[in-house]
Structure 1
Amino acid sequence: MTFQRFATLVLLIVASWLGYYLYGVHYAQQDEQIEPDAEKPLFAGENVKSTSYDTAGKRSYSIKSTSLEYYSKLGETHFNEPVLWTFKDGDDEEWRISANFAVLKDKNILEMKGRVRIFNLLPESSIKTISTETLTLDLTSQDFWSDSDIEITGEGFQTSAKRAKGNFGSYKMDLTGTVKSRYEPNILSSL
């Protein structure tokens, strides 16, 4: 009978320890909120396209990217091979802007880097292409600026400068630094 009591006591101790362990693992621990890691994206996507509308419901811009990563701690979205389209009056594609990489900051400031190419898609426009290495664009106001060499090609002219700032909606641009232009009067007079 002592063996039976001893086995019951051992079984009771093992069952008590097991109950204590399971309670500690599953029920007694507090839920911990994990802080987002600044070095790892909160979410990522591939072949993403997004369209933004203004307050009147007209398309403002559309952006497409081979991949994107959103970093919540930094408040930034990183785009690989982004292509941005802006729209005239919400209907016609007006500008197409592409780059190797872009960072969206403060929900409306897009910094584009590496082979930035800007194409005017409206047939009646005198500006056809703009090329630079870096471009910062305010998506809300369509203001832009570039502190790297910029080249503008249009119907009968070619202009280069060290820096530029302007607005895509108003077609106004200030060029600074060494500005060089070349005009072809035969093409300009036929317009």
Structure 2
Amino acid sequence: MTRIYIASLLFFIFSVVSYIVIEWHQNSNQITNAIDNKISPDFIAESLNSETYNSTGQLSYIIDANRMEHYSELSVTHFEFPKYTLYPKNTDSPWKISANEGTLYNSNRVKLESKVALIATDSKSLIQEIHGKYLELDLNTNIISSEKKIEIKGIDFTMYGTGLIVDLNTKQVTLTKHEKTIFQPIKN
């Protein structure tokens, strides 16, 4: 085989591969654009503030968010910077939970992501703050869970671990995997 024949063959193979890559890229962009055009929110709310009451007429939770987009086709509502104020049963002190992003599903389950913080409004609560990258909240039961890394701040301690279950009604906290605890006694 001559060098010209080998160079021609390599050029042909390069041309075919280039053509396939370009066609594949254009098709994937067309599919993405088609999906983006089909799935658009049914309605959008800016500066959302909503109160939800239970069947007995008691305040269950309040949601504030910078932006809310509802997709009925997907049965999903997406929030930007959601802030929930939760009113558990048998307590006068609400809990506040906030994040950069939140997704509410029809089952009343909320997935909160990016800089999630659960804050107690009761200054005497043993646990004052819980921080993580991801928490799930069940609005029906007031149970919060996560399988990710968690930081728990209390009156005189900070605890680190992975995995969490918090029942706001009973104030029971379960940490799946404890990593370390730092005690900082309160100075009088």
* Paired residues of 2:90 and 2:169 also in contact (CA < 8 A): no
Q: Structure 1: 5+ residue runs without aligned partners?
A: 1-36
Q: Which runs of 5+ in 2 are unaligned?
A: 1-36
In the superposition, relative to structure 1, how do residues 117 and 145 fare at CA in structure 2: closer, same or farther (>3 Å)?
same
Does residue 166 (structure 1) correspond to residue 171 (structure 2)? The answer is: no
Change (3 A) 1:72 1:148: same
One-letter identity of the residue aligned with 2:117: R
2:10 aligns with none
| Structure 2 residue aligned with 1:49 | 49
The change in CA–CA distance for 1:174 and 1:88 in structure 2 (over 3 A counts) is closer
Match of 1:170, SS?
Answer: coil
TM norm structure 2: 0.75
Query: Relative to structure 2, which stretch is displaced further, 57-66 or 80-89?
Result: 80-89
Tell me the secondary structure at the aligned position of residue 131 of structure 2: strand
Counterpart residue type for residue 126 of structure 1: L
Q: Which residue of structure 2 aligns with residue 33 of structure 1? A: none
Contact 2:89 2:169 in 1 (8 A): no
From the CA coordinates, give the structure whose radius of gyration is larger. Answer: 1
Superposed structure 1 runs of 4+ greater than 3 Å apart: 88-93
Of all paired residues, the percent bearing the same amino acid is 28
Give the C-alpha shift of residue 91 in structure 1. 8.4
2:39 counterpart letter in structure 1: E
Cα distance, 1:39 vs structure 2 = 1.5
Q: Is the 8 A contact 2:99 2:113 kept in 1?
A: yes
| 2:186 match: secondary structure | helix
Mapping for residues 145-160 of structure 1, pairs under 5 Å: 145-160=145-160
Aligned: 1:105 with 2:105: yes
**Cα offset for 1:135?**
0.4
TM-score if structure 1 supplies the norm length?
0.73
Q: Does 1:94 align with 2:94?
A: yes
The equivalent residue for 2:186 is 187
Is the 8 Å Cα contact of residues 43 and 69 (structure 1) preserved in structure 2? yes
Do 1:59 and 1:91's aligned partners in 2 also have CA atoms closer than 8 Å? no
**Cα drift, residue 178 of structure 1:** 4.0
Deviation of 1:154 after TM superposition, in Å, equals 0.8
| Equivalent position of 1:140 in the other structure | 140
How large is the Cα RMSD of the aligned pairs? 2.0
The count of aligned residue pairs is 152
